[in-house]
């Protein structure tokens, strides 16, 4: 399936999956509003406020994995058969939670190692041109690795695969279709960036017209909806793309 077809199908599926968009919207809005309420308002916030924000971030991250697993399961059924229910969301959220958590920890570990190596290179060479070049190289390696395993969550859910088998399969598929995968990701990033710029302009206008916290709350609600909608578009586009790569005949038109 082509990039254009995958994105078109992504938007089509999102339009028929507004119940899923609603779940992501509420989840994102709660997080954004909590950030507004709890985020430190000074440059040197009290330790309790900082710890509260860290705890909320950890809880948000753990819950978001369940939501990602449930969303992918829901989208898989929507792509394959044209129908899905919220039972698909809840059952798949539990079924694939640990596997997606392990995948996330692997990604975090690799990112942490690359960041540490970059920091050590800069510290050992006092931040000269060689250190900067090494940091840039490590950043490129990190981005390349992220692209290589980008299909792993979709493989885990669509094929009920184990984590390392999904990572291996993703690397093989992406290497064979690197330009298509990178192109699909780039187009979706450009779409998201364009919408983000529009939201930024809107927020600047609201901030000028409204004083205090009102504009922040309105922006939090609007951005939560946009992020939820685009999140489903991205997941549906890549799920469609992966099923096309794996030659699934059950992809619904």
251 found inside a domain: no
Q: How far is CA 237 from CA 4, 92, 112, 132, 142, in A?
A: 9, 19, 29, 36, 23
250 found inside a domain: no
74 found inside a domain: yes
230 found inside a domain: yes
Residue 249 pLDDT > 50? no
User: What are the residues whose beta carbons fall under 8 Å from the beta carbon of 79, sequence distance 6 or more?
Assistant: 9, 13, 236, 239, 240, 243, 251, 252
The parent domain of residue 66 ranges over 3-245
Question: Could you give the number of structural domains in the chain?
Answer: 1
- Report, as an integer, the average pLDDT of 213-223: 84
Q: Which pTM value belongs to this model?
A: 0.87
184 found inside a domain: yes
Q: Which residue has the tokens 């493989």?
A: 155
Residue 208 pLDDT > 80? no
Q: What is the mean pLDDT of the chain?
A: 86
pLDDT digits (tens, 9 = 90+) for 159-194: 999 999 999 999 999 999 999 999 999 999 999 999
Cβ atoms of 9 and 239 within 8 Å: the answer is: no
User: What are the residues whose beta carbons fall under 8 Å from the beta carbon of 118, sequence distance 6 or more?
Assistant: 134, 135, 138, 139
9 found inside a domain: yes
pLDDT digits (tens, 9 = 90+) for 43-79: 566 666 677 778 888 889 999 999 999 999 999 999 9
158 found inside a domain: yes
Token representation of residue 125:
């060479």
């Amino acid at each position: 399936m082509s990039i254009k077809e995958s994105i078109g199908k992504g938007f089509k599926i999102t339009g028929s999956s507004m119940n899923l968009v609603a779940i992501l919207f509420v989840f994102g809005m709660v997080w954004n509003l909590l950030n507004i309420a709890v985020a430190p308002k000074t440059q040197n916030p009290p330790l309790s406020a900082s710890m509260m924000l860290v705890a909320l971030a950890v809880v948000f991250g753990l819950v978001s994995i369940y939501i990602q697993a449930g969303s992918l399961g829901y989208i898989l059924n929507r792509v394959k058969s044209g129908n899905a229910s919220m039972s698909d969301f809840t059952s798949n959220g539990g079924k694939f939670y640990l596997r997606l958590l392990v995948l996330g920890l692997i990604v975090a570990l690799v990112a942490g190692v690359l960041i540490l190596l970059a920091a050590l290179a800069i510290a050992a060479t006092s931040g000269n041109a060689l250190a900067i070049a090494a940091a840039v190289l490590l950043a490129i390696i990190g981005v390349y690795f992220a692209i290589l395993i980008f299909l792993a969550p979709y493989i885990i859910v669509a094929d009920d695969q184990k984590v390392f088998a999904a990572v291996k399969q993703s690397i093989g598929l992406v290497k064979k279709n690197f330009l298509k995968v990178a192109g699909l990701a780039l187009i979706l990033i450009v779409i998201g960036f364009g919408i983000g710029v529009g939201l930024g302009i809107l927020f600047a206008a609201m901030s000028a017209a409204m004083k205090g916290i009102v504009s922040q709350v309105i922006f939090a609600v609007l951005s939560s909806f946009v992020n939820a909608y685009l999140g489903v578009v991205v997941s549906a586009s890549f799920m469609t793309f992966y099923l096309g790569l794996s030659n699934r005949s059950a992809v619904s038109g």
